[in-house]
Chain A
Amino acid sequence: MLNWLQNIGHRTFNRFSRIGRGTLFLWQCLLSLSYVFTKPMLLVRQLHSVGVQTLLIILVAGLFVGMVLALQAYIVLVDFGAEESISLMVSLSILRELGPVFTGLLFAGRAGSALTAEIGLMKSTEQLSGMEMMAVNPMKYIIAPRFLAGVISVPLLTAIFMAVAILGGYFVAIEMLGIYEGVFWSQMQTKVDFYEDLMNGMIKSLVFGFVVVWIAVFEGYDCVPTSEGLGQATTRTVVHGSLAVLGLDFLLTALMFNV
């Protein structure tokens, strides 16, 4: 019994000290961001590996999500004779929810896990310690550029996801289902609000990007430097990152749309 209680106490303490370390880590990371502007090449390289290399999966996923959404919308709407509102259904669900959420999830899986693994491997091969002993702060040289690159990339990837998904929906609606092109666009134009729908989606993506990248770089930096610890850290990045995206999405939706 006592052991059991001790165990619970120990675990709770560990959880909280991790949260504390994570917050401190974020603070140090934010303080180190100015360094990135003195070495823009570091940021450019990370934008490539974090952002550009995630592009393909975003493009493909966006295209299919848009296409499927158009098909499903048609099946429901055609019963009411409202199939011309297809574009509205596709664009609103993409802009408000699916764009930021899907991008957040895909980013956590593709780039987040890669970031954790990369930083964790640097830690276990003593590259981070080595840098410290060369009087180069790894927070500035390694963490800050990756963090900034992630925070910049996610909203951009989200915008691309949204555009491609709507194009996918357009292709299905016009070419396969025979909706009039003019109706498709004009519906969207009249009913979709720039601030209410698009901007709120982009704000969501900014929040998701921030949180997912924070989790990813922290898990890498804080991992136990063994192959097992590295594997666990990578898994945690994907699991915690995805759950954070979904949970925050609910919270942000409730706040933004005043439900």
Chain B
Amino acid sequence: MIFDNIDMDIRQGQVTAIMGPSGTGKTTLLKLIGGQLKPDAGTVHVAGENVHQLSATALYDLRRRTMGMLFQSGALLTDLSVFDNVAFPLREHTSLPESAIRDLVLLKLEVVGLRGARDLMPAELSGGMSRRVALARAIALDPEMILYDEPFTGQDPISKGVLVKLIHDMNHALGMTSVVVSHDVDETASISDYIYVISGGKVVEHGTPKNINHSASDWVRQFMGGLADGPVPFHYSSKPMIEDLMASSNEGRK
């Protein structure tokens, strides 16, 4: 079992962060919201619709209307240029003339600061740039909600700063709902309106960033502060050190 009795509300127009250590199923949670995985029990509602009871057509329709997703890897289509990648959802879902698509793509690329990089291929981009292109692609159809999967992981400080600013600005300027899944505490806390901290399949704390920082739970304080020792022990569970050492000296004597 990955999640146990989880209940979350993601409010419209806000940045909601879902934080937790690696391997707690944060990405799984996004895939549940996006309808890519089906839960064994429980329901997920997006824009008033139960995601997992929709027919395939209705699910695709819901995704097209309301969701954009930024994958950890960027997930750019490697055989298409930056321009074509951003144009892809527009070409698939609209019947706009090519000139209008060109204008829209350039506008979206301008938002992420990569209008000049439109002719590059994904293999020529740095990690930060490909995530920005993926972001431009995710907002191409002006979705109501964007799901960010670990947007800051593996980014250098400058790219991180750029992404933090972009997520924040887009949420406020375009009135989107954002769900940020991350374990980069400072960056995520700085832009989120509400935070859920999950661990071991449960929500261990939720509240505004201020509340979370002053949490009564030792575990949450250790996680938010990045402390080496606490309720999550530094040492992997083992027998006492003295026994291990004595065992080796006993063997030596034999």
Residues on A lying within 8 angstroms of B by beta carbon are 122, 125-127, 129-137, 141
Contact = CB atoms under 8 A, between A and B. Distances in A.
B75 A127 contact: yes
A137 B36 CA distance: 12
Given A134-B92, A135-B61, A136-B92, 4 more contacts: A133-B71, A135-B64, A136-B89, A137-B60
B71 A134 contact: no
Nearest to B66: A135
Interface of B: 31, 34, 36, 60-61, 63-64, 67-69, 71-73, 75-78, 88-89, 92-93, 134, 137, 141, 147
Contacts of A127: 75-78
Contact of A135 (B60, B76, B137): B60
Contact of A133 (B61, B68, B88, B92): B68
Given A132-B36, A133-B68, A125 B73 contact: yes
A135 B63 CA distance: 6
B132 to A, nearest CB: 15
A127 B72 CA distance: 11
Nearest to A132: B36
A256 B34 CA distance: 50
A125 B75 contact: yes
A127 to B, nearest CB: 5
Nearest to A142: B77
26 contacts: A125-B78, A126-B72, A126-B73, A126-B75, A127-B75, A129-B31, A129-B71, A129-B75, A130-B71, A130-B134, A132-B34, A133-B34, A133-B69, A133-B71, A133-B147, A134-B63, A134-B64, A134-B68, A134-B88, A134-B89, A134-B92, A134-B137, A135-B92, A136-B89, A136-B92, A137-B60
Contacts of A130: 69, 71, 75-77, 134
Contacts of B141: 134
A125 B73 CA distance: 7
